[in-house]
Structure formats: structure tokens, C-alpha cells
Amino acid sequence: MPQNTVMVEFALAIPGSLLIAALIALLIRWIFGRRLSLSLPVMMLTSLLGLSLGLLAAGWFIAGVRIWTPVPLLLAFGFSVAISFIVAALFAASRRARDRVDVDAVLSAGESDRVEFKETARWNVRESKRDSRMELAIAKTVAAFLNSGGGVLVIGANDDGEALGLDRDLSTLRVSDADRFELWLRDLFSTLLGRNAAALPRVQFDHAANGALVCCVACPSSPRPVYVTQSKDGASTDLWVRVGNSTRSFAIDEAVEYVGRHWRQRSLLRGRSG
């Protein structure tokens, strides 16, 4: 029998707490996914804090309780999950607010190398019907932003920055709502740009000052080239980039030169910042 059971329990509690904290941190990061920017070590420290508070509450309010009994373990686990979830939710909400596009400001500023307006994404205004060419134009614009310095595509606004809404596009869907429209956008990006590239843009719906609902697709600069695949066998791929306030396709020699120059500069910048 150990001569000092308190010391033995404390020694066992250290690795046990680390293991529980790691599992809780992984669970929270899995729940929040890309919305959570906190690293695993930070989430483990948060989980450990919750475990400590739970054990403190058990020892403070319950007489004669020992650390490896059900009540303190349940309190420690509950405190850890609750605190980790609250911290993760607060950070995810702050990031969402920070990354949110100011729709009216973007519309009033007009088109540029970082901003593009599209009146529709599926509906051909001139021919009054659904047109796959409109969908391809959306994918090309998103690819161009990803291959350049990033940017925002506003769907539901004309070239003058007037918000016209998404009614025509929504009418082409089986269920006419924003959620189904975002699902269609994600499927479009996955098909034409690839799954990795499709996960990069942030899709946001908002009402402009005139009340019209528009869709903002905020695109970061991609860490690798994004190609638009226009054929089912993947044989036809194009590299699209932003040149001024227009979207341009590069020929093979231009694409090779651009890829080498653009992503080499980005890697050099990352190296200097690191």
C-alpha cells in the first residue's frame, strides 16, 4: 500500500488530466471546424482550466470527497466541456464578425481588382432562362480571386453597384432559399474548382440598404493554383486571374510563368514573416 495516497493520486491526476483535456480539445475543434482559429495547445490549456475549476468546486463544496470518485470526475469533465465550448464559441463569433463583409460599403466602392459584381449566377437576363454559362462565369471569377490577391464577388448586384436581389436565381432552385443557394454554390465550386478550392471562399447573405438580398463570396488568396475544369474528364483546365477589374484566362506559357512568380513570391513573404 502507498504511504501517501494523496501524493499518488496527484501523480496519477497529472497525465490523466492531460489526456482528458486533449480529448475535450479535439472534440471542440471538431465541432467548430474551420470557424475556430485557436490552436490545439490553447484549447488543451482551456480544458485543463475547466478540469481544475471542476475539481476545485468538488473539493470546496463536498466534504470528504476524493479525486478519483465519480462526483469530482463528473464535475471536472462538465466544467471543462462547458468552459471550452464557451471560449470556442466566443472566439468563433468574434472571427465571424471580423470577417463579415460590409455589403453597402462594397457596393458603394464599385468594382476593382478585389471586387466584382454579378447580376445573377444562374439566370440569363437577356434570354430569360437558366444558363450554365452564367454558372461558369461565377466559377471563373472565384478562381481568379483565389489565384490573385483575393477579393469579394457580390451576386445580385449590377455593374453600377445597385443591389437587385437573388429572386431570379432562387426561382431556379427546387427550394427557393439562401441555404439551398449556398449548397448549390458549394457544389458548383467543388465540380469546377475542386474540393480543396471549394472550401476556401466564405459565403455570406445580407440585405443591402434598399432591402435586396445579395450573396457575397469572400475569397482569400489560395495557397496553391486553382484551375477551372470545364469537361467531365478533366482534360480542359484553365488558369484565371484578376487583371485590374477584369477576369482573364492565361495561355499555357503565361500560366506557367504566373504560377512560378506568384506562388514563389508568396512563399518568400511567408518565410520572411516567419
pLDDT, tens digit (0-9, with 9 covering 90-100), for 171-183 = 999 888 999 999 9
Residue 239 CA to residue 148 CA, distance in Å, equals 11
- Note the pTM of the prediction, 2 decimals: 0.66
Between 246 and 273, whose confidence is greater? 246
Enumerate the domain spans of the chain.
5-98, 101-256
Query: Residue 265 has what pLDDT?
Result: 66
The contacts of residue 88 (CB under 8 Å, 6+ apart) are: 28, 29, 31, 32, 36, 38, 43
Residue 188 CA to residue 121 CA, distance in Å, equals 11
Instruction: Report the pLDDT averaged over residues 83-92.
Output: 87
Between 30 and 171, whose confidence is greater? 171
- Torsional sign, CA 76, 78, 81, 86: negative
Block residue for cell numbers 490523466: 16
**Which band of pLDDT confidence, cut at 50, 70 and 90, is reported for residue 83?**
very high
Query: Residue 273 has what pLDDT?
Result: 46
DSSP 117-134: EES-SSEETTTTEE-HHH
Query: Residue 2 has what pLDDT?
Result: 67
Instruction: Give the domain 101-256 fold.
Output: 3.30.950
- For residue range 32-70, list pLDDT tens digits in order: 776 676 788 889 999 999 999 988 888 888 877 777 788
- For residue range 188-226, list pLDDT tens digits in order: 999 999 999 998 999 999 999 999 999 999 999 998 999
Q: What is the 3-state composition of the chain as percent helix, strand, coil, each rounded to the nearest 5?
A: 55, 15, 30
Least confidently predicted of 46-60, 118-132, 147-161: 46-60
